[in-house]
Amino acid sequence: MIQLASTRIVFASLLALLLIFAGTATADDVDTTVDWKVGVASVDITPQQRLLMAGYAARKEPAMGTEQPLYGKALAIENRDGKRVVMVTLDLIGVTAELREQVAQQVEQKYNVPAHALLLNASHTHCGPRYNSEGAQEYFAILTKKLVQAVGQAIDSRQPAELAYGFARCSVAMNRRTPSDSGFLNHPNPNGPVDHTVPVLSVRNPEDQSLRAVLFGYACHNTTMGFRRWLGDYAGYAQEYFEKDHPGVTALFMMGCGGDQNPYPRGELKYAKMHGRSLATAIEAAIETTQRTLRHQHPVRGSLNSILETVDLEFATPDRPDFAYPVQVIRFGNDLLLVALGNEVVVDYALRLKRELHREQGPAVWIAGYSNVYAGYVPSKRVLLEGGYEARSRPWKPSLEERIIGKVHELVDKLPAAE
Ligand SMILES: [Zn+2]
């Protein structure tokens, strides 16, 4: 028996050598022929305890049930040199500084992901928990633990992958600042600026090109509903529908600069579902589902670099300390530049940055808002001077737009040259 076993081992080794000699792929070969290793994880973060709803101050009673589970999802991307970025997307109102700090600290300790390589983004659903309120400590602890675990799972599950960027458009969002004799009203304005882009980063298996994950963005409040049930709103449905239509694929929603954008119509659940379906369909268009020849998928390759710094924003109120505003930039080679801004950023920032960062033959530019901190609106200078709802949130000095835009350019220039 022993002799037979060793004969088998010798035979197997010879066969393996022959295969390597003949140029057939080995495990090592696979690693060097692909640019990326990507892992993804998804965790249910629906509160199991009675908690207040976040987003509208009028709801003073806890949630009464679950319309749709809320999720936290993690996408871990590693390049050939072992450099990583991890993006965490959340069906929550925002990313509080405390949540960001707790998750970043533990993720750095446990998985060696530096803070600048971790992006936390929230969908701004108004049917999620007010997780920083009194009585939510237990949920906050569970949430933090689950998100850290999800990051670990995403990193552990990484596999060789190909990345591609494409985009489509979706017209669910409408500007919600309507001028009137008594100032700007919070009311749908079909003439106001919008960003209808649906950027999509797709993750595919190199062997058979099957889809494993999509990270998609959109700039619009998740405020179709404001009832007392847990719900991811239109972004929750877009993720749910896309995942149902592509079994085994994880869809992650990255909120854009939708500070002054609402989905219309709103107020009825059927509209949240319709808007979700529209957005899920736009993802299909962006990845060119049903097209025999894909002409608009830009392969994402090359080096991976990230940077996260804060810029001090000043208040007009005397003695109020400056706000340390986080700006994060992640660059994938010369193919994709992702800028993640904190707070509720209005659409002017996305439109301006995409214009100013555009380079002929340069990377696609993706601007996310609602990232890494959640502390009120960030109006543009225009919106601040016009007044209205988004301008009243904080007594900013009008210098905030130039300071934020300047910081983005500074960080983009600071990144090592793309390879
Ligand atoms: Zn908001």
Distance of CA 139 to the CA centre of its chain: 22
Centroid of ligand 1 to alpha carbon of 274 (angstroms):
21
Which residue from 105, 9, 46, 80 is spatially nearest to 231, judged by alpha carbons? 46
Please tell me the distance between residue 221's alpha carbon and the centre of ligand 1 in angstroms. 6
Q: Is 124 exposed, middle or buried (0-12, 13-18, 19+ CB in 10 A)?
A: buried
- Calpha distance 184→169 (Å, rounded): 27
Amino acid at 189: N
CA 72 to centroid of ligand 1, rounded, Å = 19
Q: Where are the domains of the chain?
A: 29-414
Q: What is the distance in A from the centroid of ligand 1 to the CA of 405?
A: 21
What are the backbone dihedrals phi and psi of residue 371, each rounded to the nearest 5 degrees, phi first? -115, 135
Nearest to 419 by CA among 322, 305, 344, 333: 333
Sign of the CA dihedral with 306 first, then 213, 109, and 32 last: negative
Q: How far is the CA of 244 from the centre of ligand 1 (A)?
A: 28
pTM of the model: 0.92
Rounded Cα–Cα distance for residues 10 and 16 (Å): 10
> How far apart are the CA of 19 and the centre of ligand 1, in A?
58
Distance CA 328, CA 311 (A): 11
- 261 CA distance to ligand 1 middle (Å): 9
pLDDT truncated to tens, each residue of the chain (419 aa)?
444 444 444 444 444 444 444 433 333 334 455 789 999 999 999 999 999 999 998 899 999 999 999 999 999 999 999 999 999 999 999 999 999 999 999 999 999 999 999 999 999 999 999 999 889 999 999 999 999 999 999 999 999 999 999 999 999 999 999 999 999 999 999 999 999 999 999 999 999 999 999 999 999 999 999 999 999 999 999 999 999 999 999 999 999 999 999 999 999 999 999 999 999 999 999 999 999 999 999 999 989 999 999 999 999 999 999 999 999 999 999 999 999 999 999 999 999 999 999 999 999 999 999 999 999 999 999 999 999 999 999 999 999 999 999 999 999 999 988 77
For ligand 1, the distance from its centroid to the CA atom of residue 364, given in whole angstroms, is: 27
Label residues 46-84 b or e (16+ Cβ within 10 Å = b): bbeeebbbbbeeebeeebeeebbebbbbbbbbbbeeeeb
Query: What does the alpha-carbon distance between residue 382 and residue 223 come to, in Å, rounded to a whole number?
Result: 24
Q: How many CA atoms lie within 13 A of 68 on its CB side?
A: 25
Strand partners, 306: 330
